[in-house]
Amino acid sequence: MTKKSTYPRMHDDYRKIPSVSLPFRRPLVGALNALLAFDCWRSPVDPRVLRRREKIYNADGSCFEVLVMEPAETTTTSPALIYYHGGAFALSYASLHLQSCERYAVEAGCRVIFVDYRLGPAKPFPHGFNDCFRALEWTLETAEALAIDPKRVAVMGDSAGGGLSAGVAQKALDGGVPLSAQLLIYPTLDNRCATESATSFSDTPVWNSNLNRNMWTMYLRDVNAAAPPAYAAPGRREALSGLPPAYVETAEFDPLRDEGLEYARRLEQSAVAVELNQTSGTVHGYELAPENPETVRSMRERVEYLWKIFHPGRVL
Protein backbone atom coordinates (compact mmCIF):
# COMPACT_ATOMS: atom_id res chain seq x y z
CA MET A 1 0.00 0.00 0.00
CA THR A 2 1.32 3.45 -0.87
CA LYS A 3 2.14 5.37 2.31
CA LYS A 4 0.48 8.75 2.73
CA SER A 5 3.82 10.35 3.53
CA THR A 6 5.48 9.07 0.33
CA TYR A 7 3.92 11.61 -2.02
CA PRO A 8 2.71 14.60 0.00
CA ARG A 9 1.36 16.35 -3.10
CA MET A 10 -0.85 13.43 -4.09
CA HIS A 11 -4.56 14.20 -3.84
CA ASP A 12 -6.38 12.41 -1.00
CA ASP A 13 -8.73 10.78 -3.54
CA TYR A 14 -5.91 8.43 -4.56
CA ARG A 15 -4.12 7.65 -1.31
CA LYS A 16 -6.42 4.77 -0.41
CA ILE A 17 -5.82 2.99 -3.74
CA PRO A 18 -3.15 0.30 -3.35
CA SER A 19 -0.11 -0.30 -5.48
CA VAL A 20 -0.69 -3.67 -7.12
CA SER A 21 1.16 -6.40 -8.98
CA LEU A 22 -0.48 -8.01 -12.00
CA PRO A 23 1.06 -10.99 -13.78
CA PHE A 24 -0.19 -10.85 -17.36
CA ARG A 25 -1.33 -14.49 -17.48
CA ARG A 26 -4.36 -15.62 -19.45
CA PRO A 27 -6.52 -17.03 -16.60
CA LEU A 28 -6.18 -13.88 -14.48
CA VAL A 29 -6.58 -11.51 -17.42
CA GLY A 30 -9.63 -13.47 -18.55
CA ALA A 31 -11.22 -13.20 -15.10
CA LEU A 32 -10.57 -9.47 -14.94
CA ASN A 33 -12.03 -8.96 -18.39
CA ALA A 34 -15.15 -10.86 -17.35
CA LEU A 35 -15.56 -8.43 -14.45
CA LEU A 36 -15.08 -5.48 -16.78
CA ALA A 37 -17.70 -6.88 -19.16
CA PHE A 38 -20.17 -7.15 -16.26
CA ASP A 39 -19.34 -3.59 -15.23
CA CYS A 40 -20.19 -2.38 -18.75
CA TRP A 41 -23.34 -4.52 -18.94
CA ARG A 42 -24.78 -2.99 -15.78
CA SER A 43 -23.82 0.56 -16.75
CA PRO A 44 -26.73 2.63 -18.15
CA VAL A 45 -26.53 4.11 -21.64
CA ASP A 46 -26.76 7.88 -21.88
CA PRO A 47 -30.22 8.50 -23.41
CA ARG A 48 -28.73 11.31 -25.50
CA VAL A 49 -26.56 8.77 -27.37
CA LEU A 50 -27.38 5.97 -29.79
CA ARG A 51 -25.08 2.93 -29.87
CA ARG A 52 -24.65 0.13 -32.37
CA ARG A 53 -22.01 -2.52 -32.98
CA GLU A 54 -20.26 -3.13 -36.28
CA LYS A 55 -17.94 -6.01 -37.20
CA ILE A 56 -14.77 -5.19 -39.13
CA TYR A 57 -12.58 -7.69 -40.98
CA ASN A 58 -8.85 -7.55 -41.55
CA ALA A 59 -7.17 -8.71 -44.75
CA ASP A 60 -6.11 -11.98 -43.04
CA GLY A 61 -9.72 -12.84 -42.18
CA SER A 62 -9.50 -11.93 -38.51
CA CYS A 63 -12.15 -9.61 -37.16
CA PHE A 64 -13.02 -7.31 -34.30
CA GLU A 65 -15.88 -5.01 -33.37
CA VAL A 66 -16.40 -1.30 -32.98
CA LEU A 67 -19.11 0.46 -31.06
CA VAL A 68 -20.49 3.42 -32.98
CA MET A 69 -21.82 6.18 -30.73
CA GLU A 70 -23.70 9.20 -32.04
CA PRO A 71 -25.79 11.92 -30.50
CA ALA A 72 -29.45 10.90 -30.76
CA GLU A 73 -30.43 14.22 -32.31
CA THR A 74 -27.70 14.26 -34.97
CA THR A 75 -29.13 14.32 -38.50
CA THR A 76 -26.22 15.82 -40.43
CA THR A 77 -22.71 14.80 -41.39
CA SER A 78 -20.40 15.15 -38.41
CA PRO A 79 -16.74 14.72 -37.41
CA ALA A 80 -15.50 11.39 -36.09
CA LEU A 81 -13.43 10.52 -33.04
CA ILE A 82 -11.82 7.08 -33.17
CA TYR A 83 -11.22 5.99 -29.58
CA TYR A 84 -8.79 3.32 -28.33
CA HIS A 85 -9.31 2.32 -24.71
CA GLY A 86 -6.59 1.75 -22.16
CA GLY A 87 -5.89 -1.46 -20.25
CA ALA A 88 -2.21 -2.33 -20.60
CA PHE A 89 -2.83 -3.88 -24.06
CA ALA A 90 -4.47 -6.78 -22.18
CA LEU A 91 -7.55 -5.57 -20.30
CA SER A 92 -10.85 -4.70 -21.91
CA TYR A 93 -12.65 -1.39 -21.52
CA ALA A 94 -14.63 -0.31 -18.46
CA SER A 95 -17.92 1.55 -18.14
CA LEU A 96 -15.92 4.70 -17.44
CA HIS A 97 -14.50 4.53 -20.97
CA LEU A 98 -17.98 4.29 -22.46
CA GLN A 99 -19.34 7.11 -20.32
CA SER A 100 -16.47 9.39 -21.29
CA CYS A 101 -16.96 8.66 -24.99
CA GLU A 102 -20.68 9.32 -24.72
CA ARG A 103 -19.81 12.70 -23.30
CA TYR A 104 -17.36 13.42 -26.14
CA ALA A 105 -20.04 12.51 -28.68
CA VAL A 106 -22.65 14.82 -27.16
CA GLU A 107 -20.53 17.76 -26.06
CA ALA A 108 -18.00 17.78 -28.91
CA GLY A 109 -20.65 17.20 -31.57
CA CYS A 110 -19.11 14.12 -33.16
CA ARG A 111 -19.62 10.44 -33.83
CA VAL A 112 -17.36 8.17 -31.80
CA ILE A 113 -15.93 4.93 -33.20
CA PHE A 114 -15.00 2.98 -30.07
CA VAL A 115 -12.60 0.18 -31.02
CA ASP A 116 -12.80 -3.21 -29.30
CA TYR A 117 -9.38 -4.32 -30.53
CA ARG A 118 -7.81 -7.72 -29.85
CA LEU A 119 -5.86 -8.03 -26.61
CA GLY A 120 -2.79 -9.68 -25.17
CA PRO A 121 -1.52 -11.93 -23.82
CA ALA A 122 -3.36 -14.02 -26.42
CA LYS A 123 -2.84 -11.45 -29.17
CA PRO A 124 0.23 -9.27 -28.52
CA PHE A 125 1.65 -6.75 -30.99
CA PRO A 126 0.90 -6.35 -33.87
CA HIS A 127 -2.64 -7.81 -33.70
CA GLY A 128 -4.35 -5.14 -31.62
CA PHE A 129 -2.49 -2.35 -33.36
CA ASN A 130 -3.52 -3.68 -36.76
CA ASP A 131 -7.14 -3.62 -35.59
CA CYS A 132 -6.73 -0.02 -34.49
CA PHE A 133 -5.39 1.13 -37.84
CA ARG A 134 -7.97 -0.93 -39.70
CA ALA A 135 -10.66 0.89 -37.72
CA LEU A 136 -9.36 4.17 -39.13
CA GLU A 137 -9.39 2.78 -42.66
CA TRP A 138 -12.92 1.43 -42.20
CA THR A 139 -14.14 4.76 -40.87
CA LEU A 140 -12.84 6.57 -43.93
CA GLU A 141 -14.07 3.86 -46.34
CA THR A 142 -17.59 3.98 -44.92
CA ALA A 143 -17.67 7.68 -44.08
CA GLU A 144 -20.64 8.42 -46.32
CA ALA A 145 -22.73 5.59 -44.86
CA LEU A 146 -21.75 6.64 -41.35
CA ALA A 147 -22.54 10.30 -42.09
CA ILE A 148 -18.96 11.24 -41.19
CA ASP A 149 -16.89 14.03 -42.68
CA PRO A 150 -13.62 12.28 -43.70
CA LYS A 151 -11.77 15.59 -43.45
CA ARG A 152 -12.56 15.83 -39.73
CA VAL A 153 -11.32 12.62 -38.13
CA ALA A 154 -9.21 12.41 -34.98
CA VAL A 155 -7.76 9.57 -32.91
CA MET A 156 -7.76 9.46 -29.13
CA GLY A 157 -6.89 7.04 -26.38
CA ASP A 158 -5.87 6.67 -22.76
CA SER A 159 -2.83 4.81 -21.43
CA ALA A 160 -2.18 1.88 -23.82
CA GLY A 161 -4.86 3.44 -26.02
CA GLY A 162 -2.86 6.65 -26.03
CA GLY A 163 0.13 4.73 -27.32
CA LEU A 164 -2.03 3.06 -29.95
CA SER A 165 -3.34 6.49 -31.00
CA ALA A 166 0.20 7.81 -31.37
CA GLY A 167 1.18 4.77 -33.43
CA VAL A 168 -1.91 5.03 -35.64
CA ALA A 169 -1.17 8.73 -36.23
CA GLN A 170 2.39 7.82 -37.29
CA LYS A 171 1.24 5.10 -39.67
CA ALA A 172 -1.42 7.42 -41.08
CA LEU A 173 1.27 10.01 -41.78
CA ASP A 174 3.46 7.41 -43.48
CA GLY A 175 0.51 6.27 -45.60
CA GLY A 176 -0.67 9.75 -46.54
CA VAL A 177 -3.89 9.50 -44.49
CA PRO A 178 -4.76 12.93 -43.06
CA LEU A 179 -5.93 13.27 -39.47
CA SER A 180 -7.31 16.34 -37.72
CA ALA A 181 -5.63 15.60 -34.39
CA GLN A 182 -4.32 13.03 -31.94
CA LEU A 183 -5.34 13.12 -28.27
CA LEU A 184 -2.96 11.20 -26.04
CA ILE A 185 -4.13 10.72 -22.46
CA TYR A 186 -1.23 9.64 -20.19
CA PRO A 187 0.03 7.57 -23.15
CA THR A 188 2.21 4.45 -23.11
CA LEU A 189 4.99 5.30 -25.55
CA ASP A 190 8.41 3.85 -24.72
CA ASN A 191 9.19 0.24 -23.80
CA ARG A 192 12.63 1.12 -22.46
CA CYS A 193 11.03 2.36 -19.21
CA ALA A 194 14.11 4.46 -18.54
CA THR A 195 12.72 7.86 -17.56
CA GLU A 196 12.84 9.15 -14.00
CA SER A 197 9.13 8.60 -13.46
CA ALA A 198 9.26 5.13 -15.04
CA THR A 199 12.03 4.03 -12.70
CA SER A 200 11.10 5.78 -9.44
CA PHE A 201 7.32 5.30 -9.18
CA SER A 202 7.44 1.69 -8.01
CA ASP A 203 4.63 1.99 -5.43
CA THR A 204 2.18 4.46 -6.94
CA PRO A 205 -1.55 3.66 -6.95
CA VAL A 206 -3.23 2.11 -10.02
CA TRP A 207 -0.03 1.88 -12.13
CA ASN A 208 3.61 1.47 -11.17
CA SER A 209 6.98 0.84 -12.74
CA ASN A 210 6.85 -2.94 -12.20
CA LEU A 211 3.50 -3.24 -13.95
CA ASN A 212 4.82 -1.04 -16.71
CA ARG A 213 7.79 -3.32 -17.41
CA ASN A 214 5.66 -6.47 -17.22
CA MET A 215 3.17 -4.99 -19.67
CA TRP A 216 5.82 -4.25 -22.29
CA THR A 217 7.34 -7.74 -21.90
CA MET A 218 3.92 -9.25 -22.59
CA TYR A 219 2.99 -6.89 -25.43
CA LEU A 220 6.26 -7.15 -27.38
CA ARG A 221 6.99 -10.82 -26.73
CA ASP A 222 6.77 -11.78 -30.43
CA VAL A 223 9.07 -9.02 -31.72
CA ASN A 224 12.55 -7.69 -31.01
CA ALA A 225 11.92 -5.47 -27.99
CA ALA A 226 15.43 -4.00 -28.18
CA ALA A 227 14.61 -2.56 -31.61
CA PRO A 228 10.81 -2.72 -31.82
CA PRO A 229 9.08 -2.49 -35.19
CA ALA A 230 7.51 0.76 -36.35
CA TYR A 231 4.49 1.90 -34.30
CA ALA A 232 5.02 -0.64 -31.49
CA ALA A 233 6.62 1.89 -29.14
CA PRO A 234 5.81 5.21 -30.87
CA GLY A 235 7.80 7.34 -28.45
CA ARG A 236 10.99 5.89 -29.94
CA ARG A 237 10.30 7.19 -33.45
CA GLU A 238 12.84 9.82 -34.47
CA ALA A 239 11.03 11.71 -37.27
CA LEU A 240 7.89 13.43 -35.96
CA SER A 241 7.48 16.28 -38.47
CA GLY A 242 4.14 16.32 -40.25
CA LEU A 243 2.18 14.55 -37.53
CA PRO A 244 -1.27 16.00 -36.74
CA PRO A 245 -1.80 18.50 -33.91
CA ALA A 246 -1.66 16.86 -30.50
CA TYR A 247 -3.33 17.17 -27.14
CA VAL A 248 -1.13 15.46 -24.54
CA GLU A 249 -2.23 14.89 -20.96
CA THR A 250 -0.05 13.59 -18.12
CA ALA A 251 -0.59 12.62 -14.48
CA GLU A 252 1.88 13.79 -11.84
CA PHE A 253 2.44 10.47 -10.02
CA ASP A 254 2.47 8.17 -13.01
CA PRO A 255 5.38 6.11 -14.40
CA LEU A 256 4.29 7.26 -17.87
CA ARG A 257 4.50 10.96 -17.02
CA ASP A 258 7.97 11.72 -18.33
CA GLU A 259 7.64 9.88 -21.64
CA GLY A 260 4.46 11.83 -22.30
CA LEU A 261 6.19 15.11 -21.52
CA GLU A 262 9.17 14.16 -23.67
CA TYR A 263 6.97 13.21 -26.61
CA ALA A 264 5.10 16.51 -26.35
CA ARG A 265 8.41 18.38 -26.27
CA ARG A 266 9.72 16.54 -29.33
CA LEU A 267 6.50 17.14 -31.23
CA GLU A 268 6.80 20.86 -30.56
CA GLN A 269 10.43 20.82 -31.71
CA SER A 270 9.19 19.20 -34.93
CA ALA A 271 6.75 22.09 -35.54
CA VAL A 272 3.69 20.06 -34.50
CA ALA A 273 1.10 22.11 -32.63
CA VAL A 274 0.80 20.73 -29.08
CA GLU A 275 -1.59 21.47 -26.25
CA LEU A 276 -0.13 20.05 -23.03
CA ASN A 277 -2.19 19.43 -19.90
CA GLN A 278 0.00 18.48 -16.92
CA THR A 279 -2.39 17.48 -14.15
CA SER A 280 -1.31 17.90 -10.52
CA GLY A 281 -1.72 15.59 -7.55
CA THR A 282 -2.98 12.86 -9.86
CA VAL A 283 -2.17 9.22 -10.60
CA HIS A 284 -2.55 7.10 -13.72
CA GLY A 285 -6.24 6.64 -14.49
CA TYR A 286 -7.15 9.49 -12.18
CA GLU A 287 -10.66 9.68 -13.70
CA LEU A 288 -11.49 6.89 -11.23
CA ALA A 289 -12.34 9.87 -9.00
CA PRO A 290 -14.81 11.65 -11.33
CA GLU A 291 -15.50 14.48 -8.89
CA ASN A 292 -11.82 15.28 -8.39
CA PRO A 293 -11.11 18.89 -9.48
CA GLU A 294 -8.42 17.80 -11.92
CA THR A 295 -10.76 15.23 -13.46
CA VAL A 296 -13.49 17.83 -13.88
CA ARG A 297 -11.06 20.33 -15.41
CA SER A 298 -9.38 17.85 -17.72
CA MET A 299 -12.62 16.40 -19.05
CA ARG A 300 -13.67 19.95 -19.90
CA GLU A 301 -10.34 20.65 -21.60
CA ARG A 302 -10.59 17.47 -23.70
CA VAL A 303 -14.08 18.44 -24.88
CA GLU A 304 -12.95 22.00 -25.64
CA TYR A 305 -9.99 20.73 -27.64
CA LEU A 306 -12.19 18.36 -29.64
CA TRP A 307 -14.65 21.14 -30.33
CA LYS A 308 -11.86 23.43 -31.47
CA ILE A 309 -10.42 20.96 -33.98
CA PHE A 310 -13.79 19.65 -35.17
CA HIS A 311 -15.66 22.98 -35.39
CA PRO A 312 -13.07 25.68 -36.12
CA GLY A 313 -14.43 29.18 -35.78
CA ARG A 314 -17.51 28.08 -33.86
CA VAL A 315 -17.98 28.88 -30.17
CA LEU A 316 -18.72 25.96 -27.86
Q: Active-site residues: which are they?
A: 159, 254, 284
C-alpha of 23 from chain center: 22
d(CA 19, CA 215): 15
Rg for the chain, CA atoms, rounded: 18
CA 288, 294, 295, 301 torsion-angle sign: negative
Q: In sequence order, what E strands does 191-261 have?
A: 246-250
Evaluate whether 111 touches 105 at the Cβ level (below 8 Å): yes
Q: How far apart are CA 124 and CA 222, in angstroms?
A: 7
φ, ψ for residue 82, nearest 5 deg? -95, 120
Written as one letter, the residue type at 85 is H
Q: Which residues pair with 52 in a beta bridge?
A: 68
Which pairing describes strands 78-84 and 148-158: parallel, antiparallel, or unpaired?
A: parallel
Sheet holding 78-84, edge to edge: 49-57, 63-71, 111-116, 78-84, 148-158, 181-185, 246-250, 274-278
